[in-house]
Structure 1
Amino acid sequence: MSLNDDLTAVQRSLDDLDRSLGMLEKDLDPGGLDMRRVRTDASHLRESFALLRGTRPAERPAPEKVTIPDTPYDRSLWSDAEDDEGLGARDRRAP
């Protein structure tokens, strides 16, 4: 799915939630504390999603692929190294 498809699916789900809450209010006390809390939470969710939808990231290009050869590395690259990896410089001591 693309980002746009995902955002559309979330919007449909929020719309379904509102419809379901409307049907639920018919059976429950619409002015009751629990129903008001659920309506407030649904409203906050809708507002948060609207903010998220407004800050969509730009489409990122595919990462560049780097080919790594199967040939062994040239050992001369490390023969004159000043430091041994992880051990520090040869003429210094750890504190």
Structure 2
Amino acid sequence: MSLHDDLTSVQRRLDDLMRCVARLDEHAGDSLDMRRVRADAGHLRESLHLLQDSVPITAGNRTVEMVSIPDAPYDRGLWTDAEDEGLGSPHRHAP
């Protein structure tokens, strides 16, 4: 299974858990233990969303925009008055 498939599977099971917690809440009422179970299930949901957001985007899961880079050389005018990084101005000597 791919990572995307695993995350989808966990999401489905978490949705089932949330439904079961809601049904259990109807029977158990508003007790301290039930509030703790609801809070823990909510934390699981939040953690899964954070994990899904942190997973790198792959071409199979989402569209990736291709950027073409021309083979032609850059215009030398773009670099006018630019200093070479680490060397300073062309009028000065490197240390």
TM-score by length of 2: 0.57
1: CA distance, partners of 2:15 / 2:2: 20
Paired-residue identity, %: 57
Partner of residue 26, structure 2: 26
Shift of 1:22: 1.1
Query: TM-score normalised to the size of structure 1?
Result: 0.57
| Deviation digits for residues 17-46 of structure 1 (CA, Å, limit 9, x no counterpart) | 0100111112111x1100000000110111
Higher-strand-fraction structure: 1
Aligned twin of 1:38: 37
Ranked by relative contact order (alpha carbons within 8 Å, sequence separation 6 or more), the top structure is 2
Q: CA RMSD in A?
A: 1.3
> Residue 86 of structure 1 aligns with which residue?
none
The count of aligned residue pairs is: 58
